[in-house]
Structure 1
Amino acid sequence: MTQNENLAQLSKAGVAVWLDDLSRDRIRSGNLQSLVDEHSVVGVTTNPSIFAAAISGSESYDDQLHAMAVRGVSVEEALRTITAADVRDACDLLAPVAARTGRDGRVSLEVAPGLARHTDATAAEAAHLWWLVDRPNLFIKIPATVESLPAITTSIAAGISVNVTLIFSTERYREVMDAYLTGLEQRLEQGGSLDGIESVASFFVSRVDTEIDKRLDAAGGHDELKGKAGVANAVLAYQAYEEVFGSDRWKALESRGASRQRPLWASTGVKNPEYSDTMYLSELIAPDTVNTMPEKTMQAYADHGQPGAPVQEAYGSAAATMQAVADAGIDLPDVFRVLEDEAVEKFVQAWDELTGSVQEQLQDKS
């Protein structure tokens, strides 16, 4: 199969193309395979909202739901069985990519969002999901809340590959990288191997612009800053990545076989129709990164996307942009706190809706 030229060029620039969506229909129809074959897709991310849409909008789950209904399984078991099955099948589909690249071919499955503020429960569910799916190219998604940072370390030390999600600030991102390195160090201290352990850190982009643009509008003026903070914030995150993974601490781990925790640009679908629909791809070109995108955004880039300058050339301007936003009266720490709280709550709501939908279907099919 011939790969789309625009997405192939994005890959050549060091940006791994991942799809931010998964459903049983997408797997069974061959759509996911075609995206691998023709759109340079080398990974998949999921979240509660994605599964809610997939399960409620398809008949592909009916037979499995009926079998679980007559067995009288709980809704919690049904949810985990369904989502694990889809993720396992996607892992198998992407196994050749994992074998070829060594780093990609990954599929992410998230711990229940209601556990985001509970350290031990998050670590325990991460271990359970890792066991349940039982595929080496799995990522367990753990939120970057303060309470979940130790769970990231515990999971990495246990040999579980982790996608750390819901990162909004460079300060929290540095804590995430520290949690990853600490996990690797603990694994070595316990006599474990670092072979096969991978991690990405999902840094959210468009939601930053949405929140800051709203506050700029409320403050009045400063239109020149609108739509600029999301990319600038991510650029500074990559600068932090280069600092941490250029340190002596990292080099000691790398000499023992450790893999870098790659930055992953998340929330890359443009929310404001006045902005370019590919801006969060074109303006975040950097080696050793991942960009997970909705299919609509992926198709837009396939049609007309063009790579911008590497982010390393924008460190100074990005810092100036964020300083200008702060000087405009925007409380950045409060922005990042609100975004994290809202993101956790939105996923909790999506999970609750999914639970209710599956509960109804179990009752209907019993």
Structure 2
Amino acid sequence: MTAEARKLLKELAAEGVSPWWAASQGEQPSVLDAVSCGFRGIRMPVGVPDGAVRAVCDLLRARGGFVAVAAAAFDGLSDPAAWLAAARVLCSGVDRPNLLVGVPANRAGIDAVTGCLAEGIGIESTVVVSVRQYRAVLDAQRAGLERARARGVDLRALGVATSCDLGVLDAEVNARLDRLPDGVASGLRDTAGLATARLLYRTRELALACEPWQSLREAGARPPMLLWSQTRPEQVRSLVSWNTAHVLTVETVEAAARGAGLEGDTLMGRHEQSTRALRLLAERDVDVEVIGEELLRARFG
């Protein structure tokens, strides 16, 4: 990895953004190289042997980092009990506190979140693309942490994260804009992902200010993380704020490092302009909430 890319990872961390490596089977660099370059978390592909995941967890644990692995292939399970059972198997096999078990943010996966957290299993809810969907995820995360507290689980050891596939959302919105008459979509391309990210951030901050989450925080619960995934290189500098993370490939980091520098916090206090941006899309029959639901059905049925 180039010096410029390493510098970018360090700058992100200084802004409260945890750089995660989106690892794939057999990809270079090695995990050790990735960590030494500045990645603070790693998302590993499903099916990696438990021993390999355990070793990565040990490597990152001293640095306060997490390792996320899907409990199963996301098209393989269809009910909460199955996801909970798969999460138990993975958690038991790896047996490390900084493991985040990935479950999809469809209805079955969201319902499984509460049971997982209640049993002390760290969770990454994945494939979030709308505010409505994220509210349901946050409710499940809160309920799970409350049940965990009642059962005497050490909340300080539980990682809670939600990953948002902004690249998928932008691609679908852009495709629909491209089908509109000439000129109608002017200036609206590539606006949905950033606007949604800012509203998701606002949703989380409002939730954390409420009594239930404050009570959980006082009991030691970590604030839930927001992870941005499948982003384009130019989006990296526009998605910066506290307790967030970028899940990045090496290629994306290198490309982002060749662009402009970071611009400070880009998410806090931007909800009003983001609401307007999504309203402009909806006025052209490109409703991001509806698209989010359609993407979920297409992915999980």
Q: Does TM-score exceed 0.5, indicating one fold?
A: yes
Q: Which residue of 2 aligns with 1:163?
A: 124
CA deviation vs aligned residue, 1:23-53 (integer Å, no higher than 9, x gap): 4564xxx633223223x201111345xxxxx
The CA distance in 2 between the partners of 1:167 and 1:185, in whole Å, is 22
The CA distance in 1 between the partners of 2:118 and 2:71, in whole Å, is 17
Q: Which residue of 1 aligns with 2:33?
A: 34
The CA distance in 2 between the partners of 1:214 and 1:261, in whole Å, is 32
Secondary structure at the counterpart of residue 311 of structure 1: coil
The CA distance in 1 between the partners of 2:260 and 2:124, in whole Å, is 27
Q: What is the count of residue pairs matched by the alignment?
A: 295
Once superposed, what is the RMSD of the aligned Cα atoms? 2.1
8 Å CA contact 1:45–1:109 kept in 2: the answer is yes
Counterpart residue type for residue 45 of structure 1: R
Counterpart residue type for residue 276 of structure 2: A
1:294 to 242, 249, 264: 249
2:209 to 246, 250, 253: 246
The CA distance in 1 between the partners of 2:260 and 2:30, in whole Å, is 21
Q: Which residue of 2 aligns with 1:285?
A: 240
1:193 is displaced (CA, Å) by 2.6
Q: Return closer, same or farther for 1:326/1:116 CA change in 2, 3 Å cut-off.
A: farther
Q: Which residue of 2 aligns with 1:336?
A: 292
User: Aligned pair 1:96/2:57, yes or no?
Assistant: no
Secondary structure at the counterpart of residue 125 of structure 2: strand
2:261 to 297, 301, 306: 306
Counterpart residue type for residue 68 of structure 2: S
The CA distance in 2 between the partners of 1:229 and 1:206, in whole Å, is 10
The CA distance in 2 between the partners of 1:343 and 1:308, in whole Å, is 34
1:136 is displaced (CA, Å) by 1.7
Q: Which residue of 2 aligns with 1:212?
A: 173
CA deviation vs aligned residue, 1:188-229 (integer Å, no higher than 9, x gap): 222333130111111110111110111111122212101111
Secondary structure at the counterpart of residue 109 of structure 1: strand
Q: Return closer, same or farther for 1:342/1:305 CA change in 2, 3 Å cut-off.
A: farther
Q: Return closer, same or farther for 1:193/1:313 CA change in 2, 3 Å cut-off.
A: closer
User: Aligned pair 1:45/2:11, yes or no?
Assistant: no
CA deviation vs aligned residue, 1:335-360 (integer Å, no higher than 9, x gap): 11222233447xxxxxxxxxxxxxxx
- TM-score when normalising by structure 2: 0.91
8 Å CA contact 2:125–2:163 kept in 1: the answer is yes
Counterpart residue type for residue 209 of structure 2: G
8 Å CA contact 2:234–2:259 kept in 1: the answer is no
CA deviation vs aligned residue, 1:74-94 (integer Å, no higher than 9, x gap): xxxxxx5x4323322322322
More helix by share: 1
1:152 is displaced (CA, Å) by 0.3
The CA distance in 1 between the partners of 2:8 and 2:224, in whole Å, is 26
Q: Return closer, same or farther for 1:135/1:305 CA change in 2, 3 Å cut-off.
A: farther
Secondary structure at the counterpart of residue 289 of structure 2: helix
8 Å CA contact 1:116–1:145 kept in 2: the answer is no
1:260 is displaced (CA, Å) by 0.8
Mean CA deviation greater in 288-297 or 326-335: 326-335
Q: What does residue range 29-178 of structure 1 map to in structure 2 within 5 Å?
A: 31-38=30-37, 40-48=38-46, 80=47, 82-98=48-64, 105-112=65-72, 113-178=74-139
1:291 is displaced (CA, Å) by 0.9
Q: Which residue of 1 aligns with 2:12?
A: 10
CA deviation vs aligned residue, 1:279-329 (integer Å, no higher than 9, x gap): 221111111111111111112223435213521142221111000000111
Counterpart residue type for residue 318 of structure 1: S
**Runs of 4+ residues deviating >4 angstroms:** none
8 Å CA contact 2:165–2:228 kept in 1: the answer is yes
1:106 is displaced (CA, Å) by 1.1
- TM-score when normalising by structure 1: 0.76
Counterpart residue type for residue 184 of structure 1: L
* Unaligned runs of at least 5 residues, structure 2: none
The CA distance in 2 between the partners of 1:124 and 1:91, in whole Å, is 21
Counterpart residue type for residue 322 of structure 1: L
CA deviation vs aligned residue, 1:113-155 (integer Å, no higher than 9, x gap): 2344311000011011000111222110011111221210000
